[in-house]
Structure 1
Amino acid sequence: MLPTASKGRSSSSASRPNPVFPQYLRRIVKWQQMDIEYTFWQMLHLCTSPKVVYQHTKYHKQTKNQWARDDPAFVVICSLLLAMATLAYCAAYDHSAGHAVFVVISVLLVHFLMTGIVLATFCWFLTNAYLREEAPNSHVVEQRVEWLYAFDVHCNSFFPMFVMLYVLHYFLSPIFVAHGFIPVLLSNLLFLVAASYYHYLNFLGYDGKLLLVFCFYVSHLGNMWCKGTAVFDVVLYSEVIFSFKTYYNVIVWHHKI
């Protein structure tokens, strides 16, 4: 379920620039061209039935011959919701207007976009460089991962985690900031569930999309619930845990001062 490229493609077609990314950037400022209703439908089903979203990705490939979204509405709306949630935290903990603007910008640029770019680049490189099965002959179509699709997978995985760690966490924060073993346990359980769901959605994003050499990583994992992405997902899981746990500890420490 990823972009395909024939191994015997001519050099002229292979060197042709891909217009998808420039068009994607241009549409960010054109709100009237965004499919807002479909974006909210995706966000809802990513939290309830994520497999349906990736099934629709197959239909997108059949109609537009690309796996990545050509509509930036998901990124734009997710950024707006993230900014609103961050402002809610700043208002609840009585931050100044200048500090609130700084926090919103840092959350959007660092915790969402920059972290997403780094993780998407890492996953894009790892899957294309090490987890693809070589085509047996020149007549077999090779499967490769688009970078923009890797970023889409990150955004899809990030949204349910945003709901848990920014929205749900906000309403439960009076419990989490209390002293004692139970608040600490509940807080860590929420982070564990959110990071695990992020991990699971990344697995869905790459599962069955290309001929990945997963068997080497499955053999020693037995009956693990998320098969086939041991090396790839363990690193990804660690990155997510580190990023959001660090962010949470810093915010809580700052608010208690």
Structure 2
Amino acid sequence: MSYTNTNLNSSLSECSISSAYSKSIRYMRRIFKYDQMDFQFAFWQMLYLFVSPQKLIRMFQARKYTKSQYARDDPAFLVLFSGVLCLTSVGISIVLNLSFMQFIKFLFFVIFVDTIGIGLILATILWYLTNTFMKPKINLRDIEWGFSLDMHFNAFFPPLILLHFIQLFFYNWLISKDLFVSILLGNMFWLGAAFYYVYISFLGYNSLQILNHTRVFLAPIPWFVVFYFASLFFEWNISHSVMNFYKYRVL
């Protein structure tokens, strides 16, 4: 019996890897076929991330029943996401008064380090943890790695808009100043961004019926609140520190 289960698990694992590989190939090929991308739907996904994340998660659930996968098969969202990264990077470069070459360096760091690099690490960690500790042993199907990466991009998009777009309108004339209200507002942007990331991640993994104890994703929220008030007490302007870091790494 044990031998049979081992063979079955091995067979399912091989099928899963083969399926994931073929899906990845199809996904990458579609990146260069703009006529096959649904940009309007991708735009509405981005809007729902702000106004109604629950509705977007229900879309992912519907995809599972219609296409037998949670992860996106249309790269339109990724293309629009990349465009937003470029535009917001231009905005930060203007606010920080960066030169053209500094802007290129900054864009490189934002895309390949802050977004893709950290995204791959976080997605892989959550993919491993959910499959190892939150999925019942009797369930032989694994959470798709592509789904974990999608959830990261979903959760990362609202913080990107909050910190790299909306915050810019307040930075030079208020947040960068040596005032308590500057710390209050700047750190509030970071608190909101952290809330968004955690909550959307929770919604995504909570929608998977094969996972248990998904409320653990909400555990960091009280610590974010404590950290926020601690930053006010010690008068640490997080936004100002991050902007200084941005300038330092492109020198």
TM-score range, shorter chain: 0.7 to 0.9
Match for residue 160 of structure 2? 162
Q: Which amino acid aligns with 2:31?
A: I
Shift of 1:7: 9.4
The aligned length equals 228
Is 1:31 the equivalent of 2:34?
Answer: yes
Is 1:75 the equivalent of 2:78?
Answer: yes
What does the per-residue CA deviation read over 1:186-227, in whole Å, with 9 as the maximum and x for residues that have no partner? 11111011111110000001004033342xxxxxxxxxxxx7
Q: Which amino acid aligns with 2:202?
A: F
Give 2:215's match in structure 1, choosing from 228, 231, 246: 228
In the alignment, the residues of structure 1 paired with residue 85 and residue 97 of structure 2 have an alpha-carbon distance, to the nearest angstrom, of: 18
Match for residue 124 of structure 1? 127
Q: How does 1:89-238 map to 2 (within 5 A)?
A: 89-135=92-138, 142-173=140-171, 174-214=173-213, 228-229=215-216, 234=220
Match for residue 249 of structure 1? 241
Task: Considering fraction of residues, name the structure with more helix.
Answer: 2
Whether the 8 Å CA contact 2:106–2:246 is kept in 1: the answer is: no
Shift of 1:160: 1.0
Whether the 8 Å CA contact 1:143–1:210 is kept in 2: the answer is: no
Q: Which amino acid aligns with 2:14?
A: S
Report the TM-score when normalising by structure 1. 0.79
Shift of 1:171: 1.0
In the alignment, the residues of structure 2 paired with residue 247 and residue 34 of structure 1 have an alpha-carbon distance, to the nearest angstrom, of: 36
Q: Which amino acid aligns with 2:196?
A: Y
Report the TM-score when normalising by structure 2. 0.81
- Match of 2:127, SS state, is helix
Q: Which amino acid aligns with 1:61?
A: K
Q: Which amino acid aligns with 2:176?
A: V
Which has the higher relative contact order, 1 or 2, with Cα contacts under 8 A spaced 6 or more apart?
A: 1
- Match of 1:133, SS state, is coil
Cα distance change on mapping 1:83 and 1:74 into 2, 3 Å: same
What does the per-residue CA deviation read over 1:203-254, in whole Å, with 9 as the maximum and x for residues that have no partner? 001004033342xxxxxxxxxxxx7215x8649x88xx9xxx9786242366
Cα distance change on mapping 1:129 and 1:248 into 2, 3 Å: farther
Range that drifts further, 142-151 or 12-21: 12-21
Give 2:89's match in structure 1, choosing from 82, 86, 108: 86
Q: Which amino acid aligns with 1:106?
A: F
Shift of 1:144: 2.1
Cα distance change on mapping 1:50 and 1:63 into 2, 3 Å: same
Q: Which amino acid aligns with 1:251?
A: M
In the alignment, the residues of structure 2 paired with residue 73 and residue 188 of structure 1 have an alpha-carbon distance, to the nearest angstrom, of: 32
Q: Which amino acid aligns with 2:169?
A: F
In the alignment, the residues of structure 2 paired with residue 164 and residue 202 of structure 1 have an alpha-carbon distance, to the nearest angstrom, of: 17
Cα distance change on mapping 1:254 and 1:167 into 2, 3 Å: closer
Percentage of identical aligned residues: 30
In the alignment, the residues of structure 1 paired with residue 95 and residue 162 of structure 2 have an alpha-carbon distance, to the nearest angstrom, of: 18
